[in-house]
Structure 1
Amino acid sequence: MKLIQYTHHNKDLLEQFELTDEQLRFVKSPEVNVSVAKKDSNRTPIFGLNDEGKAVVFFVLHEHSEFESQFKVDNSIYIRSFSTDHRHLRKGYAKQALIALPEFIMSHFPHIKYITLLVDVPNSVAHDMYLKLGFEQGNQIEGERYPAYCMIKKI
């Protein structure tokens, strides 16, 4: 799994990435996220590429998010809209991206010490994956769409 920052030079990755309506219940589309990131320098869109160079995972790393105070840790970066292209679900790509993420963050954001995210309570599959990959569950809060668990991982 190779993680890369999205730029206008790799716009084809954005155009090829597909999410279902069911997935969009829990995340915003990559197009929406990229559009917002163009106006917010604290947001960095990321693609995860498989061995064939296809974009299989997408998320945004967001410094100083609106949820920062909910996590009660300093020097953190927030993951938004973590998603897998529906054509590549259940192949282990999400797990591979999360395993590769600490090294990527240390390389590109050396001041960051914690990875944080919210997982919607109804999204039990994602919740279980985050726990298995070393995230600790914090408080339950009111998320953007659903009640959500605060998840934290020390790098």
Structure 2
Amino acid sequence: MLSNNLKSSVVLVEYTDTYDEHLSNYHLPEDQLQFTSMPLDRINIPNASNSAKHVLILENSVPVGYFALEDGEKLLKYSDNTDARLLTAFSVDSRNQGKGLAKNGLQLLPEFVKNNFPGTNEIVLGVNKRNTPAYNLYLKTGFVDENEFYEGPNGPQHILHLTV
């Protein structure tokens, strides 16, 4: 019963600056920051793709997670599918980890992409080979490892694919 209540209270929304106060209190431990970025740092990065869409995972209307969906040059490092989007900077605030929110957010992703990105047929991501918890989470939520790798700035990454 708990998971039904949890799931119904979790939604994905496109970022707006009305969430900045909550996001300014977002917390990630150092060992996770080697694999991702703080949401506001990522949202306000000057060289981000203009077409990047910033997405929040809300629980009961409060941001608990964040990721970006990108296309363009960055996507092409991971996939030659121009109808794909690259999922980057996925995280859940450390105070909300272990509650299934990341899993719920990723389970909502295909429907969110269908509704907000017409013509997109795949989500691609790179996950650091050392980030086993994230790798396992992505596999549990439908991403597929096709044994492709990308040499990222922090070491080799598995390239994972999710058909939408």
Same fold (TM over 0.5): yes
The question of 1:13 aligning with 2:40 is answered: no
CA distance, structure 2, for counterparts of residue 12 and residue 49 of structure 1: 14
TM-score, normalised on structure 2? 0.86
Once the two structures are overlaid, the 10-residue window that deviates more, 35-44 or 6-15, is 35-44
Cα root mean square deviation, aligned: 1.7
CA offset digits 1:36-68 (Å, max 9, x no partner): 278532111111011x22211111111224242
TM-score, normalised on structure 1? 0.91
Of all paired residues, the percent bearing the same amino acid is 27
CA offset digits 1:51-91 (Å, max 9, x no partner): x2221111111122424243243400011110010001110
CA distance, structure 2, for counterparts of residue 37 and residue 13 of structure 1: 21
Once the two structures are overlaid, the 10-residue window that deviates more, 84-93 or 8-17, is 8-17
Structure 2: any 5+ residue segments left out of the alignment?
1-9
Aligned residues: 154
SS where residue 10 of structure 1 aligns? helix
CA offset digits 1:68-115 (Å, max 9, x no partner): 243243400011110010001110000000001111111110110001
Q: Is the 8 A contact 2:49 2:72 kept in 1?
A: no
Aligned counterparts, 1:10-89, within 5 A: 10-36=19-45, 40-50=49-59, 52-89=60-97
Q: Is the 8 A contact 1:116 1:150 kept in 2?
A: yes
Structure 1: any 5+ residue segments left out of the alignment?
none
> Which runs of 4 or more aligned residues in structure 1 lie more than 4 Å from their structure 2 counterparts after TM superposition?
none
Once the two structures are overlaid, the 10-residue window that deviates more, 118-127 or 135-144, is 135-144
Q: Is the 8 A contact 1:37 1:45 kept in 2?
A: no
The question of 1:3 aligning with 2:12 is answered: yes
Shift of 1:6: 1.1
SS where residue 42 of structure 2 aligns? helix
CA distance, structure 1, for counterparts of residue 86 and residue 157 of structure 2: 14
CA distance, structure 2, for counterparts of residue 35 and residue 64 of structure 1: 18
Paired residue type of 1:49: L
Tell me the equivalent position of 2:154.
145
Q: Is the 8 A contact 2:75 2:85 kept in 1?
A: no
CA distance, structure 2, for counterparts of residue 140 and residue 100 of structure 1: 26
Paired residue type of 1:8: D
Paired residue type of 2:109: L
